[in-house]
Structure 1
């Protein structure tokens, strides 16, 4: 038995494309950027690309393959993110997965009343605190739009509220580079300055090229500002197969990859080695309803292919899972979330967003759905740990001790290991008689009660001095 001393670990693994297909997709991406290129009107961006070797003709930029491959080599393969406390909690590299919520929902479902209403700034605080309370979520986003504040500064107020009510790393969306600057200054205040931020950033900027193959000026402004200041940037188009991308999955993947990587070229020209995160929200147009589907199986398939491309390029990835087209926390919502989350984890999808609040094709945030998907992600994380194989876990001595016909309930080995089994507070396993005796609580009632309990959580408060400085910053926003 001397050979059974070291742990043999195998992580469950899924692939949706093989090495030959990866090579074909990469070659096709090079062809799109060299032959078709992207549209850009940003003067500085055009000058940077043109002077580095891109072919610029008016607002069309065609990028040679060598420029893209040079940018890929310069881009870091590892990005570590930290909580506002400085604790390093997310290490984006290889096929690791870290789960978080969604952003920019327009409506909110109140778990106490069931009412659906416009998303407000108080809902931002509630959902941020709930994200902080849910252990399966490793990072947070600016979940809703805050309908009740000045739209000119709403993006910064939302970011401030999230940073106050959640300690976890923040992925944020905003309208322009001025907003990025203001949010960055808040992050520096909370984490203790630029030196600490550069060691492990606490915020990540989410920006979008427009499919197909268009960069609007504010997106380029944000890209350049983030590169200059080493703020991690997600360059994340949203191509819709049959609408803003080819109907074939391979074609949609190639276009998506070209859109994201074209931004990498400019990004690395501005500041070689600046942190960049690749990815795209690739899904379908449902031809029966014309919606941009968040629950389609094809979304997970294309996201998985792009995750494998990211691993091939050795660039961190921004993935998508846990979303649903359902309007309520029903069987459809649970099935779509579980399928997506397990698929993303098994492929290794980096920062996996939408795992808590994007319902009704990206329109609705629901605290109950956040709690449901947190439980699903917890199960997925347990599954992804695989089965450790050691002398201890093979348990040959205890099997021999108990022998045929015995039981393990009173054994020390059982007491040492049974807590590694996942026990959900949401999914019940009682026999019917015990369930009736316990009040006959259906799933929806248990979910609602657990949600209201989790919503009581608040993170450690910021100091009065920090709050006063945040107030001063907010007073200067224009």
Structure 2
């Protein structure tokens, strides 16, 4: 029986042993998911128009605060009605005209062209969680993360087939000064994976640094016409966009890079205690930011975003996996398609404190709704638990396998071998079995998804194998993956230029607080 400690030792057997270990693990990234199942659309045409009308009423009558002098000047330049210095009242005609220039689809370009991704319309991509201030590590201990921990998650993202991006700060590297983290995080995303990734938007200048590093990796001219990275702009619900997020949004839009325009919904706390009314407010918030991207640069890609949770009226804590979250996802999908823009949601969210049954139920119900809602950018698809306070290494790989299962389901029914499979019924006849039939032998690996991390053996076999529960099995798999990881090397000149840029910017950016004084 293998143990957690045995997997890394296999690597010491030499190049032949390492090659054999790697050959047992297929790390080829799945293409972008092209969904073929019907979508769940609970609203009829009249209800879609009702939400649209309510949202436009909010934009015109209530207004949205843009707490940023540059944004106010931009809005005034296109004729928006600005009152009380920073409250923007947006005419519905202006909003509709602006969002018309947002591309309905585009292609994400990775440094490895084999990992390019069509995006929008019927395509979905899975992106891991980000922002966790803690992790549950290879011993399932909850602790503060380091840059090495972040690198491990980027390596796992690179190796897990259903994960399409290395994201950015999957976990927060607490061993680095806050002011310099965005540089190290971006480099780790670029270095340890050749998939697409996300860019930090923790300040306007940080976002500009990310754009500069992307220009080193891809070239300025290439970025002018190709999407290579994704930013995120979070709103302060209800109805406020702040200077930090708007400055970062401008940095991405000016370089023609996609930005997620994401209201942060805590249903019942910063939205009305109503599913439909919450969607109307969220829709108004998202539209106001989407429209602003086109004020900054007409035609730049932008993504209708949101983060959804409902709030427990007993404790005030955010909840995951609730029915209303699923309903809101269905409705937001309909609204995004109504406006003709791609949209983002969150996946496999858990509020549980460990990788237990609660985490599994919450994550599974969320993912099923996300797939049936037709989301394009499926963020937080691996590792999220404890309401985002930690990323679990065990949950990370199991979530990724669940995404692969969801991927298979959303591809729809495959009919290519229908006649050959039906012919087997005549060959076998009543009372036989199909295990030895040529069609079964030719198709058994592809016919039905076979999870690696779930145990479907008999109880006797499970006991004989050490009575391992899912967390133990998953952590062994993490060890196995990390032991077989092979870095997708950056071009030497590009790597040197990136490191030089980081060194220069770290000299220029004050390190404000010593590490032991950071909070």
TM-score between the two structures when normalised by the length of structure 1: 0.93
Are 1:464 and 2:492 counterparts?
A: yes
1:277/1:393 CA distance change after superposition, 3 Å: farther
Provide the rounded CA distance (Å) in 1 between the counterparts of 2:173 and 2:468: 34
Provide the rounded CA distance (Å) in 2 between the counterparts of 1:395 and 1:216: 59
Shift of 1:276: 0.4
Are 1:399 and 2:428 counterparts?
A: no
Provide the rounded CA distance (Å) in 2 between the counterparts of 1:256 and 1:394: 50
Shift of 1:391: 6.5
Among 124, 129, 133, the alignment partner of 1:106 is 133
Among 490, 504, 509, the alignment partner of 1:476 is 504
Tell me the residue number matched to 2:516: none
1:449/1:393 CA distance change after superposition, 3 Å: farther
User: SS of 1:39's equivalent?
Assistant: strand
Are 1:442 and 2:443 counterparts?
A: no
Tell me the residue number matched to 1:6: none
Among 446, 450, 454, the alignment partner of 1:427 is 454
Of 386-395 and 68-77, more deviation after overlay is shown by 386-395
Does the aligned pair in 2 maintain the 1:240–1:252 contact within 8 Å? no
Provide the rounded CA distance (Å) in 1 between the counterparts of 2:460 and 2:120: 48
Matches within 5 A, 1:336-347: 336-347=362-373
Among 100, 113, 116, the alignment partner of 1:86 is 113
Render the CA deviation track for 1:29-68: whole Å, top value 9, x for unaligned: 1111111111123222212212312111121100000011
Provide the rounded CA distance (Å) in 2 between the counterparts of 1:147 and 1:64: 45
Shift of 1:403: 2.7
Of 442-451 and 313-322, more deviation after overlay is shown by 442-451
User: SS of 1:417's equivalent?
Assistant: helix
1:102/1:442 CA distance change after superposition, 3 Å: closer
Tell me the residue number matched to 1:455: 482
Among 33, 36, 42, the alignment partner of 2:68 is 42
Provide the rounded CA distance (Å) in 1 between the counterparts of 2:56 and 2:311: 26
Tell me the residue number matched to 1:331: 357
Provide the rounded CA distance (Å) in 2 between the counterparts of 1:156 and 1:15: 42
Render the CA deviation track for 1:339-380: whole Å, top value 9, x for unaligned: 111211122111111111221111101111101101111111
Does the aligned pair in 1 maintain the 2:349–2:385 contact within 8 Å? yes
Among 141, 166, 169, the alignment partner of 2:193 is 166
Does the aligned pair in 1 maintain the 2:310–2:322 contact within 8 Å? yes
Provide the rounded CA distance (Å) in 2 between the counterparts of 1:21 and 1:422: 38
Does the aligned pair in 1 maintain the 2:393–2:475 contact within 8 Å? no
Does the aligned pair in 2 maintain the 1:280–1:303 contact within 8 Å? no
Shift of 1:390: 4.8
Does the aligned pair in 1 maintain the 2:384–2:396 contact within 8 Å? no
Provide the rounded CA distance (Å) in 2 between the counterparts of 1:365 and 1:216: 27
Matches within 5 A, 1:128-277: 128-142=154-168, 143-191=170-218, 193-277=219-303
Matches within 5 A, 1:251-400: 251-390=277-416, 392-393=418-419, 395-400=421-426
RMSD of Structure 2 on Structure 1 (CA): 1.9
Shift of 1:21: 1.8
Tell me the residue number matched to 2:49: 23
Unaligned runs of 5+ in 1: 1-8
Matches within 5 A, 1:109-120: 109-112=136-139, 114-120=140-146
Shift of 1:400: 2.3
Provide the rounded CA distance (Å) in 2 between the counterparts of 1:251 and 1:13: 22
Render the CA deviation track for 1:319-346: whole Å, top value 9, x for unaligned: 1111100111111111111111121112
Shift of 1:298: 2.4
Matches within 5 A, 1:70-85: 70-85=97-112
Unaligned runs of 5+ in 2: 1-34, 510-519
Shift of 1:305: 1.6
User: SS of 2:82's equivalent?
Assistant: strand
Shift of 1:292: 2.3
